[in-house]
Amino acid sequence: MMNERFMNSLCGKINDRRPLWIMRQAGRYLPEYRALRAEHSFEELCASPELSAQVTMMPMDRFPLDAAIVFADLMSPVSALGIDCYFDPGPVIDDPIRSAAQIRALTVPDGPEIAPEVPATLKLVKQQLAGRANLIGFAGAPFSIAAYLVQGRGGKDFVYLRALLREDPLAFGELMEKLAQLSARYLIEQHRAGADVVQVFDSWSGLLSLSEWEEHMRSHLTGLLEELRKAGVPSIFFANGAPHLAEAHASLPSDGLALCWRSDLGALRAKLGPHEGAGKALQGNLDPACLLAGPEATRRGTRKLLDSVPARGHIVNLGHGITPDVPIESVQAMIETVHAEEHSD
Ligand code: 1CP
């Protein structure tokens, strides 16, 4: 049976119920993932399309989710720029990009040369899904990839990237432009390989003020999303930790906007107007901490979310990735609550 609920909601069509998937649904909260990780490093999993496809399918085989997201990482495409990146457990770059000369030296390769294992994984997953759920490809937004490239590892405030912006805005802009190109080419290849839609993850966009974002980021994100539109690739833009940018993000040329739990999706829907074909799908945004709090708290949180956001054009998800220590019962409670909703609009 074909399941197009996710794409229907993205396009603002009426559905029998709201679609649901979970950011980071293929990860460490699953015992079968932890078992596979006991045998293989994260890099080994990512390098093998067979293993990546197996991990992508893990949550799909366990739960009736409406979309699968390809197993890869935000940093998967950067080796195509000639940058070495490894995981401990998050991304680490021993020789971070901190100078204009390093930025100038980066060249963006053609699409087929960018992380070819990811399109190869998508082809395998597409076959294995056989239409029972939609398939999502993804890449990082320029600012969020740069956060790791410039800092050298994960963090909370990415002060080296913000320092680069103040010290040399031209070099910062060149880095954003190259990373936007990289993501656009990579995402078009993922769509060709079978992704129905692609999600652009801007995990660190909230670190800029609205005026800095308007001055330094809007044009790069618009360029990236316009390129996807021109190539016929449906897109969702995800912004974490950036409620002050929500309306600016809503005006970007993406088909859907996903926000973290700090934003009020119902209030945003009221401002944007209904999604009836022309318009924007909204995705999210249950606090992942509800799942950690257990199945009862998850049911309450999910019901509240469903009550506060009109069903049409709403894709249910968490506001950020599922954390490794959540009980599986909480995931089941979230799914059951979404499935139990009486269809109202
Ligand atoms: O098994 C392990 O130890 C590796 C843990 C892990 C996993 C499962 C990492 C390292 N990445 C991933 C997979 C991953 N990463 C997916 C695949 C889909 C899925 O699991 O369902 C996706 C979409 C990502 C994207 C990603 N990686 C983002 C963007 C989304 C977000 O959460 O904001 C970011 C910021 C990363 C960086 C990253 N990779 C891994 C870790 C632990 C981190 C965070 C590092 C940090 O900032 O501290």
**Cα of 87 from ligand 1 centre, angstroms:** 10
Q: Which residue in 248, 67, 222, 53 sits closest to 142, CA to CA?
A: 222
Residue whose CA is closest, atom 5 of ligand 1?
89
Cβ(42) to ligand 1 under 6 A? Answer: yes
Which is the closest atom of ligand 1 to the Cα of 70?
18
Closest protein CA for atom 10 of ligand 1: 90
Cα of 180 to ligand 1 centre, how many Å?
19
Rounded Cα–Cα distance for residues 33 and 326 (Å): 14
Q: What is the pLDDT of residues 5-42, one digit of tens each?
A: 999 999 999 999 999 999 999 999 999 999 999 999 99
Residue at 90 is within a domain? yes
Assigned domain for 252 exists = no
Q: Is 238 close to ligand 1, i.e. is its CB under 6 Å away? A: no
d(CA 258, CA 286): 11
CA 91 to ligand 1 centroid distance, Å: 9
pLDDT, residue 344, reads 53
Could you give the number of structural domains in the chain? 1
Q: What is the pLDDT of residues 51-60, one digit of tens each?
A: 999 999 999 9
Answer whether 261's CB lies under 8 Å from 284's CB: yes
Does any ligand 1 atom lie closer than 6 A to the CB of residue 202?
Answer: no
Q: How does residue 277 score in pLDDT terms, banded at 50, 70 and 90? A: confident
Q: Return the CATH number at 168.
A: 3.20.20.210
Q: Check residue 1 and give its pLDDT.
A: 77
The per-residue pLDDT of the chain, averaged, comes to 97
Indicate whether residue 201 lines ligand 1 (CB < 6 A): yes
**Would you name the residues annotated as active-site residues?**
24, 28, 37, 73, 148
Q: Which helix (H) or strand (E) holds 292?
A: helix 288-292
Supply the residue whose CA is at minimum distance from atom 44 of ligand 1.
90
* 3-class DSSP state of 341: coil
Residue 218 located in a structural domain? yes
DSSP letter for each residue of 131-183: TSSEEEEEEE-HHHHHHHHHHSB--SS-HHHHHHHHH-HHHHHHHHHHHHHHH
User: 53 lies in which domain range?
Assistant: 46-57+70-229
Q: Is beta strand 91-92 parallel, antiparallel or unpaired with respect to 67-69?
A: unpaired
Q: What is the pLDDT of residue 343?
A: 67
Q: Is 73 in the pocket of ligand 1 (CB under 6 A)?
A: yes
Query: Is 206 a domain residue?
Result: yes
Render pLDDT for 209-219 as a digit per residue (tens, 0 to 9): 999 999 999 99
Specify the ligand 1 atom closest to the Cα of 144: 35
Give a yes or no: residue 53 inside a domain. yes
Buried b / exposed e across 279-309, counting CB within 10 Å, b at 16+? bbbbbbbbbbbbbbbebebbbebbeebbeeb
Confidence band, pLDDT 50/70/90 cuts, at residue 345: low
In a domain, 282, yes or no: no
**74 C-alpha to center of ligand 1: Å?**
7
Q: How confident is the model at residue 276 (pLDDT cuts 50, 70, 90)?
A: confident
pLDDT in tens, 49-98: 999 999 999 999 999 999 999 999 999 999 999 999 999 999 999 999 99
C-alpha of residue 269 to centroid of ligand 1, in Å: 29
**According to the model, what pLDDT value does residue 333 have?**
98
| Whole-number percent of the chain with pLDDT over 90 | 97
How much is the pTM? Answer: 0.97
CA angle 280, 332, 70 (to 5 degrees): 55
Residue 20: its H or E element: none
pLDDT value, residue 28: 94
d(CA 87, CA 56): 19
Closest residue to atom 40 of ligand 1, CA basis: 90
Q: Flag whether 145 is in a domain.
A: yes
25 falls within a domain: no
